[in-house]
């Protein structure tokens, strides 16, 4: 059966929706389906609204009250679970982790800066070379982190510092 998309007949709509032609007429008379002359699309929109409560003009991103309550309950449960995990020391806050990481870095840098004195045993030239290399490595590491945070290497229009690699 070929269906007229611009103005489907009652028998055509009946075959699409699985109802009788008479039932289509009753739905039209009650205003649940559009009158004769409506397009197939308009009839399908009305059928979906009637059958599933789908409002074609409603905001699809809007949550109904039940969905909002469920989302809120989930958020509250997640927050409580995170609080409990933090109390059990299974989870640490970001500021605590940043402070711990910074403390470890400061300790490592201090120990690396003492390597020259430990290794050179009074040889001032050797100590100066070791200290210079350790400082170069620490500078390179800190510059690499800054460049990574900026999203890559130096910009083409930006001049490199004197003495840079």
Summarize pLDDT for 132-153 with one digit per residue, the tens. 999 998 888 876 676 676 665 5
DSSP state, residue 153: S
Q: How confident is the model at residue 43 (pLDDT cuts 50, 70, 90)?
A: confident
| Distance (Å, whole) CA 51 – CA 42 | 14
Reported residue count of the chain is 165
User: Is the model's pTM score more than 0.85?
Assistant: no
CA distances from 21 to 25, 35, 36, 54 (A): 6, 13, 13, 23
DSSP 32: S
What's the CA gap between 6 and 40, in Å, rounded? 6
């Amino acid at each position: 059966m070929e269906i007229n998309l611009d103005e489907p007949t009652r028998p055509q709509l009946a075959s699409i929706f699985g109802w009788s032609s008479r039932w289509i007429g009753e739905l039209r008379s009650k205003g649940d389906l559009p009158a004769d002359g409506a397009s197939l699309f308009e009839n399908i929109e009305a059928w979906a609204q009637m059958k599933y409560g789908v409002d074609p003009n409603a905001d699809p991103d809007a949550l109904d009250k039940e969905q909002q309550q469920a989302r809120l309950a989930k958020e509250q449960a997640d927050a409580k679970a995170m609080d409990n995990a933090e109390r059990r020391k299974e989870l640490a806050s970001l500021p605590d982790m940043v402070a711990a990481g910074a403390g470890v870095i400061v300790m490592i840098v201090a120990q690396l800066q003492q390597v020259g004195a430990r290794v050179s045993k009074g040889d001032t030239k050797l100590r100066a070379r070791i200290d210079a290399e350790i400082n170069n490595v620490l500078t390179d590491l800190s510059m690499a982190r800054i460049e990574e945070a900026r999203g890559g290497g130096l910009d083409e229009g930006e001049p490199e510092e004197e003495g840079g690699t």
